Structure 1
């Protein structure tokens, strides 16, 4: 009898101990906490981050170059000084990196019009300028494309009817009806059998701004080099910024 009673108690406590209780919230309450100037500053946190803030501000505000004028992406119909500068700067900075890795040269650079997020104002140029113009973390990608894909790029540029930035190695002429009159890369007509190396951003490479022509391709090289960093490096190199609207993309009336 005692033996049976012992097993009954063992079974009872084992069963009740293993049985999971359903625990959950009975009520969820949300509250809006507004972040504004009325919030008090934590002096300890402020003291901790102050040296880092000073260091970052110093880096961002250090003068890298001087701009002789103010430049905007709306300054020109077919190409703009700021767009030309950005595409040419990416070419100048990225081509040595690409050539060192692949033994090939970049044929031209293509960027997206929407990627230019600010003007460059007349006066001192700092790293903060680059962050305003290119606030995104986009990196440079080089895709190998056959000549027929280059024709797709040209069609895209013409059909957009705006100043899509590309570097000076590519030259494009259209008539008053937007028919293509001529296209050259490094002063040569496009060879449909040749592989051209086109540098762009990882955003446009992944079909951003409807640039669907980068895939499939003949190979891709990720340079691990941010466009913004290329701009900063170029600012340091040029001393004085004076880009112009040129003949890389013109309309013949």
Structure 2
């Protein structure tokens, strides 16, 4: 799958290069004088030579993006204001499964609500659908954390009114942590826990706390979207759909 997506990215890059490489101007200026604003609209004639040159690459790209991976019986809607959503649960569970392929000792998974960029529409789930969910060049990362650091992470999750988590059940009240269980067990400060996430978060993205000083770290060569594509394909092979339930894993107590 990584090879296919690399070819995919190559085609996109070639397309962009062809567009800009076809310009007649071949010199550079250190300064621009006599600036003039030129309006670009549908009155500007299309350059058919460039269009025809790019068209085969464009068609290949669209064919790849339209490749069907699975089926969603209902839409998984993005809503960052909810502590838990079907989309966040699906994403976190996928991340957990991907992480456990890298290291079977992974205990739980973490994403962020802002990191999931789009929902999944009802119907066929395509490669393009997954690119919309995770368009970034983020790589699957496994962090081994001390129990005391997991506690700091749990407090961060509470203060932000919940984040996407897998194999975790937590209760929050007034942005304070009431409980946080991994695999049904309370955090043991004397243990270490392996977390599946991605390098953006591991590098301090979205200001996540508690993960900046891991006992160990493994950043893989697998992009998150590549893992998601393989995950959805495996669901389809097993006769399963792209779906998730609200299971109370992140509960806000009023």
Pairwise mapping of residues 46-195 of structure 1 onto structure 2 (< 5 A)?
A: 46-74=51-79, 77-96=82-101, 98-99=102-103, 105-161=105-161, 163-167=162-166, 169-174=167-172, 176-195=173-192
- Supply the distance in 1 between the matched residues of 2:80 and 2:54 (Cα, whole angstroms): 41
Mapped contact 2:153–2:209 kept (Cα < 8 A): no
Residue in structure 2 matched with residue 243 of structure 1 by the alignment: 244
Mapped contact 1:94–1:230 kept (Cα < 8 A): no
Residue in structure 2 matched with residue 20 of structure 1 by the alignment: none
| Per-residue CA distance 1:163-191 (angstroms, 9 max, x = gap) | 41111x122124x4454333221222212
Mapped contact 1:107–1:196 kept (Cα < 8 A): yes
- Supply the distance in 1 between the matched residues of 2:105 and 2:35 (Cα, whole angstroms): 57
- Supply the distance in 2 between the matched residues of 1:206 and 1:63 (Cα, whole angstroms): 33
- Identify which range, 243-252 or 224-233, moves more after superposition: 243-252
- Supply the distance in 2 between the matched residues of 1:173 and 1:187 (Cα, whole angstroms): 13
Mapped contact 1:86–1:165 kept (Cα < 8 A): yes
- Supply the distance in 2 between the matched residues of 1:203 and 1:209 (Cα, whole angstroms): 8
Residue in structure 2 matched with residue 9 of structure 1 by the alignment: none
SS of the counterpart of 1:78? coil
Residue in structure 1 matched with residue 226 of structure 2 by the alignment: 229
Cα deviation, residue 55, structure 1: 1.1
Cα deviation, residue 75, structure 1: 8.2
- Identify which range, 179-188 or 221-230, moves more after superposition: 179-188
Cα deviation, residue 93, structure 1: 2.1
Pairwise mapping of residues 32-47 of structure 1 onto structure 2 (< 5 A)?
A: 32-47=37-52
Residue in structure 2 matched with residue 10 of structure 1 by the alignment: none
Cα deviation, residue 155, structure 1: 0.4
Q: Structure 2 vs 1, CA of residues 85 and 48 (structure 1 numbering), >3 Å: closer, same or farther?
A: same
- Supply the distance in 1 between the matched residues of 2:30 and 2:156 (Cα, whole angstroms): 55
Q: Structure 2 vs 1, CA of residues 75 and 150 (structure 1 numbering), >3 Å: closer, same or farther?
A: closer
